[in-house]
Chains A and B, each alone.
Chain A
Amino acid sequence: MQLESMYQEIILDHYKNPHGRGLRDPFDAEVHHVNPTCGDEVTLRVKIDGDTIADVSYEGMGCSISQASVSAMYDLVVGRSVPEALETGEHFMTLMQAKGDPAVAEKLEDELEDAVAFAGVSKYPARVKCALLSWMALKDASARAMSAPQTGGSN
């Protein structure tokens, strides 16, 4: 079976016990992203203090890959500055375009932490969008939060 190369233990752990799940207040921007080919959805909020991502909260439905990806992303970006988080997102994108090349994964291992486990997903083009869904939502939400006056969103 090749399945283990995609469904790494770390991915299944994030899927079964997601980190940071649930929508929380306060927030500066909320976005809703869907993957129209399969119907996976994520609603994601960001709270930004200065230029630091103070919180990312989310609700979604989708496959193990999309759900585990948002959980691993939460661990990576909360507490980081927005530019740092977006740069990590770019590196995750690079990993997803690597078509399973182990050299790329090795290079990005330190920076991507648990998220490097998604390297196996990059061998399956149909699933890459699942892994990227939450990162796209984060990019969108951060851009909106940074361009809006920071009045606290709600509450």
Chain B
Amino acid sequence: MTQTASRPGAGAQRAPLPLDVEAIRADFPILTRTVRDGKRLVYLDSGATSQKPRQVLDAERWFYENVNAAPHRGAHQLAEEATGAYEEARSKIGAFIGAPENEIVFTRNTTEAINLVAYALSNAATAKEPEFRTYAVGQGDEIVVTEMEHHANLLPWQQLCERTGATLRWLGLTDDGRLDLSDLDTVVNERTKLVSVTQQSNILGTINPIAPIVERAHEVGALVMVDGAQSVPHQPVDVQALGADFLVFSGHKMLGPTGVGVLWGRYAVLDKLPPFLTGGSMIEVVRMEGSTFMPPPQRFEAGVPMTAQVVGLGAAVDYLQALGMDTVLAHEEALTAYALDKLAEIPGVTVIGPPDTVARGGAISFTVEDIHPHDVGQVLDDLGIAVRVGHHCAWPVVRRYGVPATTRATFYVHTGYDDIDALADGIRAAQKFFGTV
């Protein structure tokens, strides 16, 4: 499917879908409800947050009904079992991305995981422990991002630069929605301390080449963070193959609960970072005069963690692994090819992002001539179709492509061709309603 280009007028082809959509839908209780006066819910907003299968909801409920206790504290049986469930989920989630469990740090979400590293890098400058100063960022240093980033992978670095006097630089975009790597060797240079790049754009759908960026960054001694918020839920990701130093992602976008995210970090790097948040359970020895900290990952997990949510995310990982991440990717590729063809058949619809499925995920942003995305979204909503409208927390991207906002459809394991047909019919209904055709 990877070579399927969009062919206006050729008629959208329905390749057999790799996943059994009807069977999967039966696992998602929310998909049985109706919206806007009895209409079937067509959920095309998984890129914002995914729906949850019964297995994930059951896991959270199981935790609260059977073993609820604060992990890593207390000597009672519940505390033991809660700790066991929490740590078992850590191993499972680590294995999902090819990482040992001591490199998995739980955060609230991707945003917090990125902030954790950004604050650790500025805290490093004033750390009293010499080894914690290893990655300190200061005046004369540079941080590199791209113009494609979600605000969550832009603002923490802008702020880090403002706190430390470092300079923020970025890689630009090409007209067809790809990263422009032509000036990679000058943008990433001896002054670069860290490069942070998204693996899959939440607005364009672009899947970025991480290898050349890692190669150049490591050549100059810079760390690399990969924002996997939109890639880890949708494609196989193995941190050993990726070669980066950090990978961050959110549980709620991969069938898991809200309130849990993951920072993966290479142990040797995590070990030299000072903490971000401090408090209970991240400490070794506490005295009134000063304290010492646990090794990673506990050093970065202050306070009682989101234990039930971590257990729920473990169940989400089980669910995705049973489907197979290669199959999930192939499923979304087939849907994306079909959707690009269907949209190309509608006059006035322009896709913002790569026009074919080569190195492209299932986030499809588009504009409809003479109808504002808000109004497109409103008509779709009236038909029971949930999409995202606006700048998708990636304001520089919409600005780069000269549109005020877009409408975005995103797919997941329960998405079928019927959902995409509904979307295409809905867009035509919007055109009819606003009299633009």
Chain A interface residues (CB < 8 Å from chain B): 1-3, 6-7, 12, 37-41, 61-65, 124, 127, 130
Per a CB cutoff under 8 Å, which of A3, A40, A62 touches B379? A3
| Interface-lining segment among B21-29, B237-245, B388-396 | B388-396
Q: How far, in angstroms, from A62 to B404 measured CA to CA in the complex?
A: 8
Chain B residues with CB under 8 A of A12: 434
Q: Is B378 an interface residue (CB 8 A)?
A: yes
Q: Is B418 an interface residue (CB 8 A)?
A: no
Inter-subunit contact B390/A39 (CB<8 Å): yes
B404 closest partner in A (C-beta) = A61
Chain B interface residues (CB < 8 Å from chain A): 36-37, 372-375, 378-379, 382, 389-391, 395, 398, 404-405, 433-434
Per a CB cutoff under 8 Å, which of B375, B382, B404 touches A41? B404
B383 closest partner in A (C-beta) = A1
Q: How far, in angstroms, from A21 to B382 measured CA to CA in the complex?
A: 30
Inter-subunit contact B36/A64 (CB<8 Å): no
Chain B residues with CB under 8 A of A65: 374-375
Per a CB cutoff under 8 Å, which of B395, B398, B404, B434 touches A40? B404
| Contact A127-B405, Cβ < 8 Å, known A37-B390, A39-B390, A39-B398 | no
Residue from A41, A61, A63 with most neighbouring chain B CB atoms (10 Å): A63
Inter-subunit contact A38/B382 (CB<8 Å): no
Q: Which 5 A-B pairs have the closest CB atoms?
A: A63-B374, A63-B372, A38-B390, A39-B391, A39-B405
Q: How far, in angstroms, from A50 to B373 measured CA to CA in the complex?
A: 41
Chain B residues with CB under 8 A of A124: 378
Contacts A/B (CB < 8 Å), 18 sampled: A2-B36, A2-B382, A3-B382, A6-B378, A7-B433, A12-B434, A38-B389, A38-B391, A38-B405, A39-B390, A39-B395, A62-B374, A63-B375, A64-B374, A64-B434, A65-B375, A124-B378, A127-B374
Chain B residues with CB under 8 A of A63: 372-375
Inter-subunit contact A130/B378 (CB<8 Å): no
Chain A residues with CB under 8 A of B36: 2
Chain B residues with CB under 8 A of A39: 390-391, 395, 398, 404-405
Q: How far, in angstroms, from A62 to B391 measured CA to CA in the complex?
A: 12
B375 to chain A, nearest CB (A): 5
Chain B residues with CB under 8 A of A3: 378-379, 382, 433
A38 closest partner in B (C-beta) = B390
Chain B residues with CB under 8 A of A41: 404
Q: How far, in angstroms, from A86 to B374 measured CA to CA in the complex?
A: 27
Per a CB cutoff under 8 Å, which of B37, B372, B398, B404 touches A64? B372
Inter-subunit contact B378/A127 (CB<8 Å): yes
Chain A residues with CB under 8 A of B372: 62-64
Q: How far, in angstroms, from A151 to B220 measured CA to CA in the complex?
A: 58
Chain A residues with CB under 8 A of B373: 38, 63
Residue from A6, A7, A39 with most neighbouring chain B CB atoms (10 Å): A39
Chain A residues with CB under 8 A of B379: 3
Q: How far, in angstroms, from A61 to B373 measured CA to CA in the complex?
A: 11
Chain B residues with CB under 8 A of A2: 36-37, 382
B282 to chain A, nearest CB (A): 34
B379 to chain A, nearest CB (A): 6
Chain B residues with CB under 8 A of A1: 382
Chain B residues with CB under 8 A of A127: 374, 378
Q: How far, in angstroms, from A124 to B377 measured CA to CA in the complex?
A: 12
Residue from B36, B373, B378, B391 with most neighbouring chain A CB atoms (10 Å): B378
B382 to chain A, nearest CB (A): 5
Q: How far, in angstroms, from A1 to B395 measured CA to CA in the complex?
A: 32
Q: How far, in angstroms, from A12 to B391 measured CA to CA in the complex?
A: 24
Q: How far, in angstroms, from A65 to B371 measured CA to CA in the complex?
A: 11
Chain A residues with CB under 8 A of B391: 38-39
Q: How far, in angstroms, from A40 to B375 measured CA to CA in the complex?
A: 12
A17 to chain B, nearest CB (A): 13
Residue from A2, A38, A41, A62 with most neighbouring chain B CB atoms (10 Å): A38
Residue from B379, B389, B404 with most neighbouring chain A CB atoms (10 Å): B404
Q: How far, in angstroms, from A2 to B382 measured CA to CA in the complex?
A: 7
B434 to chain A, nearest CB (A): 8
Apart from A3-B433, A41-B404, A63-B373, what are 4 other A-B pairs with CB-CB below 8 Å? Answer: A2-B37, A2-B382, A38-B405, A63-B372
A60 closest partner in B (C-beta) = B404
Inter-subunit contact A38/B433 (CB<8 Å): no
Residue from A3, A65, A127 with most neighbouring chain B CB atoms (10 Å): A3
| Contact A130-B374, Cβ < 8 Å, known A38-B390, A38-B405 | yes
Q: How far, in angstroms, from A65 to B379 measured CA to CA in the complex?
A: 13
A14 to chain B, nearest CB (A): 14
| Contact A64-B382, Cβ < 8 Å, known A2-B37, A39-B390, A39-B404 | no
Q: How far, in angstroms, from A108 to B378 measured CA to CA in the complex?
A: 26
Chain B residues with CB under 8 A of A7: 378, 433
A40 to chain B, nearest CB (A): 7
Q: How far, in angstroms, from A130 to B405 measured CA to CA in the complex?
A: 14
